[in-house]
Every structure is written in C-alpha cells, then in structure tokens.
Amino acid sequence: MKNNYTDNITSCPIAKVQKVIRGKWPIVIIYHLSESHVLRFSELKRKMPQITEANLTKELRTLEAYGLIHREVYREVPPRVEYSLTAIGTKFIPVLEALETWALEYEAAQIESQS
C-alpha cells in the first residue's frame, strides 16, 4: 500500500472501492456488461438466475448512482431500458481481469497445498 490510512480508514481508496462493489452482485453485473456492452434488464436477469428481480434492480440503481453504469430509457411501447458501462465503469475491467488472475492463482495454490 502506498499510504498509511490507519488514522482515517474512510479516506483509504481501497475502502472506497469496497463500498462501491460490496456484495456478490456488482462485480458479476459489471462482468456481464463488459462482455456484452449493452444489456436489457431481462437479459441481465437471464445471465444471473440466482438474483431476485428486486436485488438486481437495487444493485443496478446503486451502480448507476456510483457512476459505473449508464441506464438508457427508450420511450416506446413497451418501454425499453438498456444498461451499459460508463467510461469509469469500463476502467474497472482491468481490475476484474486482475481479480480473475489472482483467483486462479489462489485456487491453484490451495489445490497444491492440499496435495
């Protein structure tokens, strides 16, 4: 770590990131949007069958409030809503890739230590 945040953990950049991507769904949502670029609510729901519609709605609103995703509403009948990553949301993709690399290395290390 580059700085010591023991006096004020709320100013720690890692704590701020943790606040934005807390829980199990935000990273999954960002991942799916990074792969597909634009998804409708129903498409996201199909990709994540374990999440309830209420939780998906809540997580999408939170990610939108933090500026990571963009919500586009099309005024047509029936109404259509599409979600995509914002510029700052797109900058999170290398973080996801780094997390994937670390997770694979961690899993391999765990398997090796059990051998």
The CATH number that domain 11-113 falls under is 1.10.10.10
- Give the pLDDT confidence score for residue 70 in this predicted structure: 98
Residues 6+ apart with CB under 8 A from 20: 26, 63, 66, 68
Q: What is the pLDDT of residues 43-81, one digit of tens each?
A: 999 999 999 999 999 999 999 999 999 999 999 988 899
Please check the confidence at residue 1 and state whether its pLDDT lies above 60: no
Please check the confidence at residue 8 and state whether its pLDDT lies above 90: no
Q: What is the pLDDT of residues 12-35, one digit of tens each?
A: 888 888 888 888 899 999 999 999
- Give the pLDDT confidence score for residue 35 in this predicted structure: 93
- Give the pLDDT confidence score for residue 27 in this predicted structure: 94
Please check the confidence at residue 112 and state whether its pLDDT lies above 90: no
Report which listed range, 1-5, 16-20, 22-26, 38-42, is most confident. Answer: 38-42
Domain spans in the chain, listed from the N-terminal domain onward: 11-113
Confidence of residue 3 (pLDDT cuts 50, 70, 90): low
Distance CA 31, CA 36 (A): 9
